[in-house]
A and B are shown apart, each in its own frame.
Chain A
Amino acid sequence: MTQASGTKFDEFGVSPEVVARMKKRRSAERRFRLYGRFAVIFSVCALAWLLISILTTGLSAFTQHWIIFDVETEIWSDADKSDRQKITLALGQRLGAAEGRESGSELLQIVSTSAARQQLTRSQEQGANLQEPLIISVPVSDLSDQYLKGFIDRDSPESERKISDQQIRWIERLREEGAIQKRFNRALFLNPDSRDPERAGLATSIFGSIMILLIASGLALPVGVGAAIYLDSFAPQTGWGGRLTQFLEVNINNLAAVPSIVFGLLGLAIFINFLGLPRSIPVVGGLVLALRMFPVIVIASRAALQAVPASLTDSALSLGASRMQAVFNHRVPLAAPGILTGSIIGMAQALGETAPLLMIGMVAFVTTAPASPMDPATALPVQIFLWSGSAEAAWAERTSAAIIILLIILMLINALAIILRERLQRARKL
């Protein structure tokens, strides 16, 4: 090999061009690695951003400020006054506020009026002792709550906030006098949905979700696992039957990738329009989600079944077992942990589905838990969607809290899947 004269070789006899090229190639290598690292960091940061933004907006919704005030006997036994007037008067008395329409509505705005009225009515119905002042203990209104949690800046101009200087003075006074307490927001878990954020809860939607999920998995699990067992062990592999099997498999794979909203359209057209079932009921929701879950369960179960060595079935067959016995006594039990895990993950996926439920009309404002699968219900993800549409800060806070609850439920379900798999696998090995 001859080199042009004048080129300097390094100690290993490598030309500078090669050195330069190597340098370039090495930096290309480093760059490529950097891109990869950037992509990983981007994904992890996106996840962190999502979780942090949900947590920071949502955690404050787990507490709620309550106000405690007395309603004097002469006020609350006065039959001429409406409940609103009574509450206004009592609050006015408590705060020594001037009477008048203006300050009246301002006074009412600091407490959850609907809750206070409800409590007043309840104690009247129960025939409370007229000789004693009635102690009202209700959540403060969503705006007062936002202020008390420090989300509304006191120093901002009055026109830019929805809470007036007067109201802030009242709230501060009540706080100093110990009439305002910060409590754990039990209403979020125990109350049904409400128009007032301070009283809105997730009880009915969680209950509805459980009902829908039970119906869906009750239908999809046996059918899906059965179909997977058939395709794995009984379906013909050759000839016309084999073609049918292949068609079935392609079909299931495609069904798993069909957008979930299409399943909602199917439910709307068939169950509601054609069969005439009512909208918004758990049965229809369950049926739609069962169809959605079905291909997922089939694919997961097939993967679990295929992981069982064929030699086990073969030896059972050679000992005289029938095909059915070999499959159900030897193949299926070994695949059971995998089938179970896959199915539970499919259920978790179904729990988060929103679009198909919107299609079957599950957007109604439902405040009672469904007594039967044929009553209108609402579901947790739909509730999140509905709450997210309201602009008030208190709703954003509660939506995030609902998301936190949904994510915790999903986490628990997935943890259950992992624990069950480990347990069952260990039990099988012994």
Chain B
Amino acid sequence: MSDPVPIYILLMIGALMLANYRLSYGRASRLGLRGVGDVDIPQAQPRHYARLSAVVAGLTGLIIYFSGMTLRVEAPGVLFDLLWILILVAATGLASVFTISGTREGFAARAYTERMSESALMGLSLVAVVTTFGIVASLLFEATLFFRDVSILEFLFGTQWSPQTAIRAGQVGQSGAFGAIPVFAGTFLVTLIALAVAGPIGLLVAIYLSEYASRRTRAIVKPAIEVLAGIPTVVYGFFALISVGPAIRNLADMLGANVPTQSALAAGLVMGIMIIPLVSSLSDDVIRAVPQSVRDGSTALGATQSETLKGVVFRSALPGIIGAFLLAISRAIGETMIVVMAAGRAANLSANPFESVTTVTVQIVALLTGDQLFDSPRTLAAFALGLVLFVITLILNIVALSVVNRYRRRFE
């Protein structure tokens, strides 16, 4: 960034905005403008005219600035810079003349600005749609390229996953095998273990903290569990790698079994720990949403506290709890770092939690973190897996969110 030109241009745009502000302000106060004296249209002050003209000139300048910066990479040279600056000066000049001369009776600057700002705000919220569209489009596009080489059926139902493509032509196993069943099975196994840990424990933590714990216990335990949610996943991965994996292996050694350090159990267990706060905070919300009158009714009929919780509160909160579990599943399926570091990479088709398994996210990482040509089936396979991941988590999320929302409305 030793090139000074872009910075001068930015300074120039800034100066122009200031000048425009002053000029419009001066003109508006000289003319004593008050916009349109209509009741429906808000009055305008000199500063509204001034802001409008500064912003219009500034935006014009910035748009040309950024498009110039992008094109400049392709076509460097003094000639391009000169042309670019010329266009910029002309356009911002025109914008300035236009807005300053627009500072006149009958033009409601404030109403105009506010309409513009509202559209701009709407534009910002459309970023969400654009992002979603971008995700769907890019995954679909790359996955389609992949499915030209490998049939969808083979991908979804094949049981052989060995995506190594040959470096030399004619090598054995050149095309690689892209049957993703072992990968899906591994994901399912790890998710199941994680949910088996996080589900009951998260739920019980939520119940205990909201119904039984003393205020002091709650004040200590609740933040501690929130800390679990704030720890980056790469830290959990390392924890699984250096502590949980070896601990499981040593335990198995004592029992005379042979378990590798990287196993589905280690990854699932640690992932479960990671998801506990998610389950407990979501269940806490839904349990709290059950009205007190429902509990009182049960207590009045002679039920003990745990009977009330199990028989009444839990039952009325069930849809919400299911929603929480679905979100937890979706989180576990999409979790990457823990499994990359602790589950191993071998694509075993096995239901044995003591073996090392591979998951969708591990394979995406494995396929994409090497120096490959972009269009090899190997890298494209990662996008096909990404598409599956996205679709599954999307369905889970939509179902979970609608279940939770419907449940909330029930008691409102």
Contacts and interface: CB of A to CB of B under 8 A. Distances in A.
Interface string A234-257: 110000000000011011111101
A354 B398 CA distance: 25
A227 interface: yes
Nearest to A279: B371
Interface in B220-238: 221, 224-225, 227-228, 230-238
B12 interface: no
Contacts of A385: 234, 237, 337, 340-341
B241 A388 contact: yes
A355 B401 contact: no
Q: What does DSSP make chain B's interface, helix, strand, loop or mixed?
A: helix
A42 interface: yes
A254 B121 contact: no
B117 interface: yes
A270 B232 CA distance: 26
Contacts of A265: 135, 138-139, 364, 382-383, 386
Interface in A74-106: none
Given A40-B221, A396-B242, A273 B374 contact: yes
Nearest to A49: B243
Interface in A43-67: 43-44, 46-47, 49-50, 53-54, 57
Interface residues of A, number: 85
B78 to A, nearest CB: 21
A14 interface: no
Interface string A255-290: 101111111011011100110000000000000000
A406 B243 contact: no
A135 to B, nearest CB: 38
Interface stretch (A27-35, A138-146, A159-167, A186-194): A27-35
Contact of B228 (A43, A258, A358): A43
B117 A324 contact: yes
B273 interface: yes
A253 B401 contact: yes
A388 B243 CA distance: 13
A179 B204 CA distance: 58
Pick the most buried of B132, B238, B368: most chain A CB atoms within 10 A of its CB.
B238
A36 B397 contact: no
Interface string B186-211: 00000000000000111111011100
Given A47-B228, A227-B121, A385-B341, A36 B205 contact: yes
A231 interface: yes
B330 A46 contact: no
B238 A29 contact: no
Interface string A217-239: 00000110011011100110000
Given A25-B304, A32-B309, A227-B125, A407 B239 contact: no
Contact of B124 (A227, A349, A363): A227
Given A254-B132, A268-B368, A26 B304 contact: yes
Contact of B364 (A222, A250, A261): A261
Interface string B292-315: 000000000000111101100000
B384 to A, nearest CB: 11
A407 B369 CA distance: 26
Interface in B109-133: 110-111, 114, 117-118, 120-122, 124-129, 131-132
Given A43-B225, A250-B398, A258 B237 contact: no
Given A223-B127, A322-B111, 11 more contacts: A28-B304, A39-B204, A40-B208, A44-B224, A49-B243, A223-B124, A258-B393, A266-B135, A354-B337, A355-B337, A359-B365
